[in-house]
Amino acid sequence: MSKIFDALRKAEAEQRPVTPMPAFTPEPVPSSEDGLLARPLPESIHRELATLRNSIELVVPRKNKVIAFAGAVRGEGTSTLASAYARFLAQEMGTRVLLVDADLTGEGERLSAGPLALAEGFLQVVENGLPAGRAVRSFEGNGPHFLPSGGHSLQTMQVFAAERTRELLRDLGVMYDVVVIDSAPVTLYPEVPVLLSQTDGVVLIVQAERTRREAAQRAMNRLTSAGCNVIGAVMNRRRNVVPGFLYRRV
């Protein structure tokens, strides 16, 4: 997975402007770093992402699906992998993909960075009844669409347990081939499994040689007792031990 990370870093040299989905948001969004989602992924990581896709397809073969990426603890590389996977599906497989920033904690590194940190998103759709189409962004090129977090909340349990969240995931799951959820970590927030149990499958991200076995086990226990369909675990930042990243059913 380091290969993915290094290649992504290189790809950041290019900048492209963000454009909103024309049907919903006529005002262009000036952006610098959020154009990341539009940049092509380096070919060197295609094979690893294709392996991940095959593994997900095996466990969740249905055509339209909502797949969540979640770490056991903070900083596992969840957002990096979720956005790389969403870009891969959109750019290389021609899949209609929506990437959702569902980390509403306000802690950790932000996927909704730059101007999108202030944009309406998930939170306003659930709490204020904002139509989802007004909050979804698209970018130039064939990158994934993006639903920003919409900020942070101290009431994330209420947000994730709300009927509107269930409806939102169901509606988005129909509109897109794949919805990729970038989640807050499982063990730190008891409300996270409540959200993840409403998806079709969860990919647990574990950072090699960093995440303690107990934390990974605790994350698995929380996911399974919340009724989540755990697809497997991705070992991030595994260097030169096996080619690519280690993927296995847990």
Ligand X SMILES: Nc1ncnc2c1ncn2[C@@H]1O[C@H](COP(=O)(O)OP(=O)(O)OP(=O)(O)O)[C@@H](O)[C@H]1O
* Shortest Å, Cβ 236 to Mg ion: 12
Based on CB atoms, which residue is closest to Mg ion, 25 or 149? 149
Q: Which is nearer to ligand X, 31 or 78 (CB)?
A: 78
Minimum separation from the CB atom of position 235 to Mg ion (A):
17
Of residues 41 through 80, those in contact with Mg ion by CB under 5 A are 78-79
236 binds Mg ion (CB under 5 A): no
Cα(164)–Cα(127) distance, rounded to whole angstroms? Answer: 8
CB within 8 Å of 145: residues ≥ 6 apart: 21, 96, 97, 98, 99, 136, 137, 138, 176
**Phi and psi for 121 in degrees, rounded to 5?**
-165, -145
Q: Which residues of 132-153 are buried (b: 16+ CB within 10 A; e: fewer)?
A: beebbbbbeeebbbbbbbbbeb
Residue 134 touches which member of ligand X, Mg ion, none, C-beta under 5-8 Å by kind: none
- The minimum distance between CB 236 and ligand X, in angstroms, equals 5
Which listed option, ligand X, Mg ion, none, makes contact with residue 71 (CB within 5 to 8 Å by class)? ligand X
Q: Which of 204, 197, 210, 193 minimizes the C-alpha distance to 247?
A: 204
> Which lies closer to ligand X via its Cβ, residue 5 or residue 24?
5
End-to-end CA distance of the chain: 19
Q: 2 is in the binding site of which of ligand X, Mg ion, none (Cβ under 5 to 8 A by kind)?
A: ligand X
Closer by beta carbon to ligand X, 130 or else 188: 188
Instruction: Give Rg (Cα) of the chain.
Output: 17
Q: Which residue is nearest to ligand X (CB)?
A: 108
Binding residues among 73-102 for Mg ion as defined by CB under 5 A: 78-79
Cβ neighbours, 10 Å, residue 83: 23
Binding site for ligand X (CB under 6 A): 1-2, 5, 71, 74-80, 103, 108-109, 185, 236-237
Task: Report the nearest approach of ligand X to the CB of residue 23 (Å).
Answer: 30
Pick out residues in 92-151 that bind Mg ion (CB under 5 A). Answer: none
Distance (Å, rounded) from C-alpha 234 to C-alpha 217? Answer: 14
Encoded tokens for 232: 């497997």
Residues that bind Mg ion (CB under 5 A): 78-79
